[in-house]
Amino acid sequence: MEEIKIFCPATIANVSCGFDVLGLALDSVGDVMIVRKTTEKGIRITKIIGQDLPLETEKNVSGVAGLALLEKSDYDGGFEIEIDKRIKPGSGIGSSAASSAGAVWAMNELLGKPFSNLELVQFAMQGEKLASDVAHADNVAPAIYGGFTLVRSYDPLDIISIPTPSELYATVIHPQIEVKTSDSRKILKTTISLEKGIQQWGNLGGLIAGLFQSDYDLIGRSLHDNIVEPIRSILIPAFDDIKANALKAGALGSGISGSGPSIFALSKGEENAKQVAQSMRETYQPIGIDFDIHISKINAQGVKKIA
Amino acid sequence: MEEIKIFCPATIANVSCGFDVLGLALDSVGDVMIVRKTTEKGIRITKIIGQDLPLETEKNVSGVAGLALLEKSDYDGGFEIEIDKRIKPGSGIGSSAASSAGAVWAMNELLGKPFSNLELVQFAMQGEKLASDVAHADNVAPAIYGGFTLVRSYDPLDIISIPTPSELYATVIHPQIEVKTSDSRKILKTTISLEKGIQQWGNLGGLIAGLFQSDYDLIGRSLHDNIVEPIRSILIPAFDDIKANALKAGALGSGISGSGPSIFALSKGEENAKQVAQSMRETYQPIGIDFDIHISKINAQGVKKIA
């Protein structure tokens, strides 16, 4: 295979009580990339449509992630990358992760899969480092593994695939305001109360159990975050209303996607996800801030070949 | 049925990263109780062997738990209780919980099971309140449900049964020193760093996933507690050596049982649990403090009828 066309999913990180550890991949929101082998060494970004992003390899997250892979590979050629960028940068649904994860996943396919998923995550994390100064795995892990992933530890990197209940859907609203990841990190407190910590790990345990058992009610009961959400949500206009109305519309739970500004809700079934989308639309329309709404099944597969 | 003889399991609470939320039941360590219906109202403790504990209903944890059940019942008789107390009070393996849980479980059987397991836990928690001033569920939940239980929330009380891998064994050493629960609570800090919190919920997520998948290696990788164990372990002589040697002997992980002084280790298979017991014995013998060592399969059933 000399060329591959792939779908690179958007992802939701910091799934409520899973702050900094739990992420999930979306199925109908993502970028499209074409990656092809070249005899010339190195990586060239030949085309980006949809967004104004740098073509220079060293300044582009897919370029940097790809270089990390090439460095560990005995392949003596290079790659060209074309990106149809459909996920808006800064939306909080893993725009940079989709490009980083997509690039290394595609290269691995073209080289006959010499690398494991865990290694691909490590390469893609270099793209994340370029994008946000932190080589985090919260988005690239679900983008590569698919479904829900738990980043149990960074040292050593340990990623656990968590099963995805078949009727689980996400609805995401992206208010088109800018919240810098660095700002949303800055306002976090460095200490928390032990009491809230206990609630958080109790809820994360419940959420993991709910995902394993396809227990939608337990998933809903566990989707709480009393630590980060109350602080970060002040940066997101109408967060409390969006969440309250999503729950009223029947969502299992709702929270901040990544570091925002997107807000996600999880639902049992597509019908409910559409009702939640409607509630989000009605809540946001009067505010006067532009927004996108996405409805998607959870993507159990991660990055995938489409041609 | 007018009378029932039961086995009431010892339990391990605060299973490493599951501080205050995750407990498990043992299979070969526990008390034996006989509970019988009486026409006389109320509850009488008629006999306690093995330990010097109060016979007065209001001062005995099984009496108090039983009264909480009677209060919610339309039964117009009473119960007599005999206790063969084999779990030493203050050992950190749920001595009071075994009596509280056993009493209400037996009464529920004798009354034709009018109450759910969740209700039985609520009654038994009144016994825990008498024993330690805190109506916690960490030990009574696994004693009643069996296996591993997650106390996701107290308000409302939400208890999740977690599957138990079939080859999982626990080894417990009980150094015969007194560590008061109130002291071991007092030395805890009320705040923790967000960073350690994230590690803790990452590990708890991994542990729950490992239990669902019978992934012993993942269970082992997840059995860490960087928050409570480093503080409480200073009250337990030779804790670090016991733990290090248990891991050297092949244990999956090791930590403080409840609030101590007992130390537990988990193993894959009975053979390894015996090797771990041997390492504990060799570590403690030179110290000059008396100790008991228990080896037990995880008990998936909880309190059970034995006659």
No. of helices (H) and no. of strands (E), chain A:
10, 12
- The three-state secondary structure class of B48 is strand
pLDDT-derived band at A170, boundaries 50, 70, 90: very high
Q: Which residues pair with A9 in a beta bridge?
A: A30
Which of A244, A299, A235 is CA-nearest to residue A276?
Answer: A244
Average pLDDT over residues A100-127: 98
Identify whether B128 is a catalytic site residue: yes
Superfamily for domain range A168-297: GHMP kinase, C-terminal domain (3.30.70.890)
The ranges assigned to domains in chain B are 3-162, 168-297
Over the stretch B70-121, which tens digit does the pLDDT of each residue have? 999 999 999 999 999 999 998 999 999 999 999 999 999 999 999 999 999 9
Give percent of chain B with pLDDT exceeding 70.
100
Over the stretch A260-279, which tens digit does the pLDDT of each residue have? 999 999 999 999 999 999 99
- The answer to whether the Cβ–Cβ distance between A152 and B227 falls below 8 Å is no
- The answer to whether the Cβ–Cβ distance between B190 and A194 falls below 8 Å is yes
Give the pLDDT confidence score for residue B183 in this predicted structure. 81
Give percent of chain A with pLDDT exceeding 70.
100
CB atoms < 10 A from the CB of A188, how many? Answer: 14
- Judge residue A44's burial from the number of C-beta atoms within 10 Å of its C-beta, 0-12 exposed, 13-18 middle, 19 or more buried: middle
Q: Which residues pair with A30 in a beta bridge?
A: A9
Give the pLDDT confidence score for residue A185 in this predicted structure. 82
Which of A295, A211, A213, A284 is CA-nearest to residue A251?
Answer: A295
Choosing from A128, A149, A164, A171, the catalytic residue is A128
Q: How far apart are CA A94 and CA B178, in angstroms?
A: 52
- The three-state secondary structure class of B146 is coil
Average pLDDT over residues A7-34: 97
Q: How far apart are CA B272 and CA B55, in angstroms?
A: 41
- The answer to whether the Cβ–Cβ distance between A152 and B206 falls below 8 Å is yes
Give the pLDDT confidence score for residue A180 in this predicted structure. 75
A189 and B CB contact within 8 Å: yes
Q: How far apart are CA A96 and CA A102, in angstroms?
A: 10
Residue B285 DSSP symbol: G
Give the pLDDT confidence score for residue B154 in this predicted structure. 96
| Crossing angle (nearest 10°) for helices B61-71 and B95-110 | 40
Identify whether A128 is a catalytic site residue: yes
Q: Residue A203 has which token pair?
A: 């809820």
CB atoms < 10 A from the CB of A217, how many? Answer: 10
Which of B108, B58, B99 is CA-nearest to residue B81?
Answer: B99
Domains A3-162 and A168-297 share a fold: no
* Best to test chain A binding among B152, B154, B223, B228 (most A CBs inside 10 Å): B152
pLDDT-derived band at B285, boundaries 50, 70, 90: very high
Give the pLDDT confidence score for residue B270 in this predicted structure. 98
Which of A144, A164, A150 is CA-nearest to residue A298?
Answer: A164
- The three-state secondary structure class of B165 is coil
CA-based nearest residue in chain A for residue B163? A209
How far the first Cα of chain A sits from its last, in Å, is 11
CATH class of A3-162: alpha beta
Over the stretch A180-229, which tens digit does the pLDDT of each residue have? 777 888 899 999 999 999 999 999 999 999 999 999 999 999 999 999 99
Q: Are A13 and A262 spatial neighbours (Cβ–Cβ below 8 Å)?
A: no
Q: How far apart are CA B225 and CA B207, in angstroms?
A: 12
Q: In what order do the strands lie in the sheet with A291-297?
A: A253-256, A263-268, A168-175, A291-297
pLDDT-derived band at A175, boundaries 50, 70, 90: very high
Element at A143 (helix H, strand E): helix A140-145
Amino acid letter, A50: G
Q: How far apart are CA A82 and CA A38, in angstroms?
A: 13
- Judge residue A83's burial from the number of C-beta atoms within 10 Å of its C-beta, 0-12 exposed, 13-18 middle, 19 or more buried: buried
CB atoms < 10 A from the CB of B182, how many? Answer: 11
- Judge residue A213's burial from the number of C-beta atoms within 10 Å of its C-beta, 0-12 exposed, 13-18 middle, 19 or more buried: middle
- The answer to whether the Cβ–Cβ distance between B22 and A205 falls below 8 Å is yes
Picking from A162, A194, A202, the nearest residue to B151 by CB comes out as A202
Cis preceding linkage at B230, omega within 30: no
Give the pLDDT confidence score for residue A182 in this predicted structure. 76
- The answer to whether the Cβ–Cβ distance between A200 and B197 falls below 8 Å is yes
pLDDT-derived band at A307, boundaries 50, 70, 90: confident
- Judge residue A219's burial from the number of C-beta atoms within 10 Å of its C-beta, 0-12 exposed, 13-18 middle, 19 or more buried: buried
CA angle at B184 for the pair B182 and B187, rounded to the nearest 5°: 105
Sign, CA dihedral B27-B28-B31-B32, equals positive
Average pLDDT over residues B1-23: 97
Picking from A188, A194, A203, the nearest residue to B188 by CB comes out as A194
Give the pLDDT confidence score for residue A1 in this predicted structure. 82
A118 and B CB contact within 8 Å: no
